[in-house]
């Protein structure tokens, strides 16, 4: 059994779902393993990770709209240290999660046909985000 770990750095232009499937898959290929389990972990409290459909962009827009309704700005939050989108970003990250586990089968991520890996930026401003990657396998 082998292990590999690394950091994927992602620049986001602002709020929204940003697909990182190609970057994650590229890192996995570089490790040269054929079978295993990838863990991806977002190292932030105002961004998250998720697997979602990557075929129809309306899915992403609808999801972005939905989380904005569930955790809206201007709802009287106590925590606003970094602006009015600060606390809603924390709530949105709590709802969507910061960790993914994806099996590696025959050297490829075992994603479904229409699945992609996304970093979900919950802040309006551009950010530099880090996703820790850990692969165990052979």
Distances 111 to 23, 52, 94, 105 between C-alpha atoms, Å:
14, 10, 23, 10
119: Cβ–Cβ under 8 A, 6 or more apart, which residues? 10, 12, 17, 18, 20, 42, 47, 48, 49, 129, 131
For residue 116, what pLDDT band results from cuts at 50, 70 and 90?
very high
Nearest to 20 by CA among 45, 50, 43: 50
Nearest to 20 by CA among 133, 121, 129, 117: 117
pLDDT at 90 over 90: yes
pLDDT at 80 over 90: no
Question: Looking at per-residue confidence, does 71 or 74 come out higher?
Answer: 71
Q: What is the mean pLDDT of the chain?
A: 97
């Amino acid at each position: 059994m082998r292990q590999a770990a690394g950091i994927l750095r992602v620049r986001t232009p602002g709020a929204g779902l940003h697909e990182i499937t190609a970057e994650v898959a590229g890192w996995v290929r570089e490790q040269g393993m054929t079978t295993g389990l990838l863990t991806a972990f977002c190292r932030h409290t105002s961004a998250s990770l998720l697997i979602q459909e990557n075929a129809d962009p309306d899915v992403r827009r609808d999801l972005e709209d939905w989380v904005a309704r569930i955790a809206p700005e201007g709802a009287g939050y106590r925590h606003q240290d970094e602006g009015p989108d600060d606390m809603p970003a924390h709530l949105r990250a709590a709802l969507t999660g910061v960790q993914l586990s994806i099996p590696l089968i025959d050297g490829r991520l075992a994603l479904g046909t229409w699945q992609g890996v996304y970093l979900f930026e919950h802040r309006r401003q551009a950010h530099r985000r880090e996703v820790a990657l850990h692969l165990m396998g052979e």
